[in-house]
């Protein structure tokens, strides 16, 4: 379903993704496990038509995202790592807009919106503007929205970042369910070992833009001669702490707030 | 089709909900109208050009249409910074539909803004020579709004930060405004200035409004329609192109 060969992306001198190859079979749950700045988001952006690779090839359901972007977009759904909501619309309006963009028929749209907003405990706040929501609520809305339509492939970029345990649970239950009943292929990224182990059929450990190990959780443990995935992960990536440099987008958001007053 | 509609509706909702912004954006034209209208009026009259309020009202309407439509396109910068742009860029609809929805929305909002400013001008004492021509004035506002909504999207697709936005404001939007003859008559200008005013699409939008509302104009109205139509096609085309090339 996803086939990636020798994929690289350079931002100037920085190799964000460096000669990465992997395959994800239809119906599989595949996890990209790696520390901050490893290149997970950049890979997802290239898979989802948002960014053009520097070199290498990608096939999504047999199609190249760079040349058949619109066909490719019809095949996947995605939950982004950072916000992609319209803060000046209400929760319900965000859901509705998404449903229209993804061609979900009106009736189904309304039913599923209610079901999902209830599931993620946002139904009572559906008429409120997203800008009045807490970080956790926004995250929940983002995820609820991602489940509004059922794609062939679901991309989840660090979906549990900032989620409370209950919502995490809802999320993974839902993902597993979709995977089982509808055969949705799932590509997720995370830096939590336990999550990867819990949901993924196969895991690729990525660091500094390169895949350093690939296999089922058990294979990874065997390979590193460790008894937990956490130990395996540390054995593979070392224990130095990675910092995501505070990016300019954050500063912009601050400024934008001032401007809008 | 539904995608275009929902994105158009989004622009409209964002506009009507920002009451404070609407008031603020009406304050500026009002200030121009009052300060320039009453301040420069006597000088203008002495120079034998007639009533200045009558003269600048179409210019101020044009200004509002320009600012509102360009800024709706530049709003892509906010969509980019707040992340919403990603949502539309991965959606299974042609990017051109997304762009058209945005442009239609921007043009609609700019036209509404133009009508509001027209109302303000009427309150301030502006009188069109022929009230029956108001629908034609509306037509020219819409055409002008499309030109600059397209330009706004073309620019907004490229913008990465606020500094860029300030550059655009100072080196694109304000020159378009000041060179358009919004504030002064286009005849008898030094030749360099005269050429610049003639390549500024807004000149034709405002001149056409003067034709419709005052019965006097620099260019033939057919010429204005043609220039505005072509400019709209070019800028909306340019906007679609640069929008389709966005990478995040
Ligand atoms: N637009 C960009 N311009 C320059 N560098 C970038 C850009 N996006 C990501 N990077 C860099 O690429 C590397 C990988 O980032 P990313 O894919 O976001 O990592 P992850 O999602 O695994 O945390 C980081 O070093 C990051 O700073
Ligand atoms: Mg990331």
Question: Residue A207's domain is classified under what CATH number?
Answer: 3.40.50.300
Calculate the CA dihedral of residues A63, A69, A72, A76 and round it to 10 degrees.
140
What percent of chain B stands above pLDDT 90?
Answer: 74
Q: Which helix (H) or strand (E) holds B17?
A: helix B2-17
Return the pLDDT at B39.
Answer: 84
- Give the pLDDT mean for A17-31: 96
Q: Tell me the pairing of strands A14-24 and A153-157.
A: unpaired
**Six token digits for residue A208:** 């500094």
pLDDT at residue B144 is higher than 70: yes
Instruction: Compute the distance between CA of residue A39 and CA of residue A32 in angstroms, rounded to an integer.
Output: 10
Give residue limits of the domains in chain B. Answer: 2-244
Interface contact flag, A88 B248, Cβ < 8 Å: no
Find the radius of gyration of the CA atoms of chain A: 19
Indicate the pLDDT class of residue A94, thresholds 50, 70 and 90.
Answer: very high
pLDDT at residue A253 is higher than 60: no
Tens digits of per-residue pLDDT, A132-164? 999 999 999 999 999 999 999 999 999 998 888
Token pair 């405002």 is found at B206
Return the pLDDT at A23.
Answer: 96
Q: How far is B191 from chain A (nearest CA, A)?
A: 39
Instruction: Compute the distance between CA of residue B156 and CA of residue B162 in angstroms, rounded to an integer.
Output: 11
Indicate the pLDDT class of residue B228, thresholds 50, 70 and 90.
Answer: very high
Find the radius of gyration of the CA atoms of chain B: 18
Indicate the pLDDT class of residue A232, thresholds 50, 70 and 90.
Answer: confident
Whether residue A217 is contained in a domain is answered as yes
Instruction: Compute the distance between CA of residue B200 and CA of residue A57 in angstroms, rounded to an integer.
Output: 45
Q: Which residues pair with A35 in a beta bridge?
A: none
Counted residue by residue, chain B has a size of: 248
Instruction: Compute the distance between CA of residue B180 and CA of residue A144 in angstroms, rounded to an integer.
Output: 49
pLDDT at residue B181 is higher than 70: yes
Q: Which residues pair with B28 in a beta bridge?
A: none
Interface contact flag, B82 A256, Cβ < 8 Å: yes
Instruction: Compute the distance between CA of residue A250 and CA of residue A248 in angstroms, rounded to an integer.
Output: 5
Interface contact flag, A84 B87, Cβ < 8 Å: yes
Return the pLDDT at B38.
Answer: 81
Which residues does B233 contact at the CB level (< 8 Å), separation at least 6? none
**Short-list B90, A155, A34, CA closest to A20:** A34
- Give the pLDDT mean for B206-215: 96
- Give the pLDDT mean for A38-48: 96
**Six token digits for residue A59:** 């096939």
Q: Which CA distances in Å does B112 have to B69, B79, B105, B210?
A: 10, 22, 11, 19
Q: Tell me the pairing of strands A29-33 and A202-207.
A: parallel
Whether residue A214 is contained in a domain is answered as yes
Interface of B with A (CB under 8 A): 2-3, 5-7, 10, 13-14, 17-18, 78, 81-94, 161-162, 247-248
**Short-list A93, A94, A73, CA closest to A85:** A94
Instruction: Compute the distance between CA of residue A2 and CA of residue B199 in angstroms, rounded to an integer.
Output: 51
Ligand 1 binding pocket (C-beta < 6 A) is: A 11, 14, 16, 34, 36-42
Return the pLDDT at B214.
Answer: 94
Indicate the pLDDT class of residue B69, thresholds 50, 70 and 90.
Answer: very high
pLDDT at residue A247 is higher than 60: no
Give the structural domain span for A34.
Answer: 2-62+187-260
Which ligand is in closest contact with the Cα of A159? 2
Indicate the pLDDT class of residue B171, thresholds 50, 70 and 90.
Answer: very high
Token pair 């503007």 is found at A129
Q: Answer yes or no: are the C-beta atoms of A239 and A224 closer than 8 Å.
A: no
pLDDT at residue A251 is higher than 70: no
Question: Within 10 A of A62 (CB to CB), how many other CB atoms are there?
Answer: 11
Q: Answer yes or no: are the C-beta atoms of A23 and A72 closer than 8 Å.
A: no
Indicate the pLDDT class of residue A242, thresholds 50, 70 and 90.
Answer: low
Centroid of ligand 2 to alpha carbon of A82 (angstroms): 8
Q: What number is the ipTM of this complex?
A: 0.90
Interface contact flag, B87 A98, Cβ < 8 Å: yes
Return the pLDDT at A16.
Answer: 96
Q: Which helix (H) or strand (E) holds B76?
A: helix B76-82
The conformation of residue A71, written as its DSSP 8-state character, comes to: H
pLDDT at residue A246 is higher than 50: no
Return the pLDDT at A240.
Answer: 64
Atom of ligand 1 nearest to the CA of A42: 17
Report chain A's mean pLDDT, rounded to a whole number: 89
Q: Assess A45–B contact: CB distance below 8 Å, yes or no.
A: yes
Return the pLDDT at A261.
Answer: 39
Instruction: Compute the distance between CA of residue B91 and CA of residue B97 in angstroms, rounded to an integer.
Output: 11
Return the pLDDT at A239.
Answer: 62
pLDDT at residue B114 is higher than 80: yes
A36 vs A56, more confident: A56
Find residues 47-106 of chain A whose CB sits inside 8 Å of chain B: 48-52, 70, 73-74, 76, 78, 80, 82-89, 93, 96-98, 100-103
Number of domains within chain A? 1
Neighbour-count burial of B26, counting CB atoms closer than 10 A to its CB (0-12 exposed, 13-18 middle, 19+ buried): middle
Indicate the pLDDT class of residue A231, thresholds 50, 70 and 90.
Answer: confident
Where is average pLDDT lowest: A50-64, B111-125, B176-190?
A: B176-190
Whether residue A170 is contained in a domain is answered as no
Whether residue A49 is contained in a domain is answered as yes
């Amino acid at each position: 379903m996803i086939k990636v060969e020798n994929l690289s992306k350079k931002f100037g001198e920085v190799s964000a993704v460096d000669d990465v190859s992997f395959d994800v079979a239809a119906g599989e749950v595949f996890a990209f496990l790696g520390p901050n700045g490893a290149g997970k988001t950049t890979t997802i952006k290239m898979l989802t038509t948002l960014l053009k690779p520097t070199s290498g090839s990608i096939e999504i359901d047999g199609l190249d995202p760079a040349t058949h972007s619109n066909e490719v977009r019809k095949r996947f759904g995605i939950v982004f790592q950072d916000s992609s909501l319209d803060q000046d619309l209400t929760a319900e309006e965000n859901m509705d807009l998404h449903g229209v963009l993804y061609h979900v028929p009106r009736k189904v749209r309304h039913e599923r919106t209610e079901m999902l907003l209830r599931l993620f405990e946002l139904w009572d706040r559906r008429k409120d503007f997203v800008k009045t929501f807490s970080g956790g609520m926004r995250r929940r809305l983002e995820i609820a929205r991602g489940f509004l339509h059922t794609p062939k492939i679901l991309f989840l970029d660090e979906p549990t970042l900032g989620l409370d345990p209950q919502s995490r649970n809802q999320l993974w239950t839902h993902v597993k369910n979709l995977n089982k009943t509808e055969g949705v292929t799932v590509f997720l990224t995370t830096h939590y070992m336990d999550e990867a182990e819990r949901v993924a059929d196969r895991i690729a450990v990525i660091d500094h833009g390169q895949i350093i190990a690939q296999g089922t959780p058990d294979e990874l443990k065997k390979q590193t001669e460790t008894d937990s995935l956490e130990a395996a992960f540390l054995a593979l990536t070392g224990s130095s702490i990675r910092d995501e440099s505070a990016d300019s987008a954050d500063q912009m958001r601050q400024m934008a707030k001032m401007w809008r007053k | 089709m539904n995608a275009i509609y929902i994105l158009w509706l989004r622009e409209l909702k964002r506009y009507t909900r920002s009451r404070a912004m609407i008031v603020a954006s009406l304050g500026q034209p009002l200030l121009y109208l009052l300060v320039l209208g009453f301040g420069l009026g006597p000088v203008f009259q002495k120079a034998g050009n007639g009533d200045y309020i009558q003269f600048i009202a179409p210019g101020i309407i044009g200004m509002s249409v320009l600012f509102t439509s360009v800024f709706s396109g530049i709003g892509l910068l906010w969509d980019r910074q707040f992340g919403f742009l990603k949502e539309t860029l991965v959606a299974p609809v042609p990017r051109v539909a997304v762009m058209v929805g945005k442009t239609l929305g921007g043009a609609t909002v700019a036209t509404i803004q133009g009508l509001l400013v027209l109302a303000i001008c009427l309150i301030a004492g502006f009188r069109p020579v022929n009230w029956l021509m108001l629908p034609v004035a509306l037509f020219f506002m819409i055409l002008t709004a499309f030109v600059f909504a397209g330009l706004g999207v073309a620019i907004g697709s490229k913008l990465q930060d606020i500094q860029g936005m300030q550059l655009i404001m100072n080196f694109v939007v304000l020159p378009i405004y000041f060179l358009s003859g919004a504030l002064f008559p286009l005849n008898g200008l030094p030749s360099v200035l005269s050429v610049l005013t003639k390549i500024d699409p807004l000149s034709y939008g405002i001149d056409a409004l003067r034709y419709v509302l005052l019965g006097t104009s620099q260019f033939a109205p057919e010429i204005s329609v043609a220039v505005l139509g072509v400019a709209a096609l070019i800028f909306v085309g340019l906007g679609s192109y640069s929008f389709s090339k966005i990478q995040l």
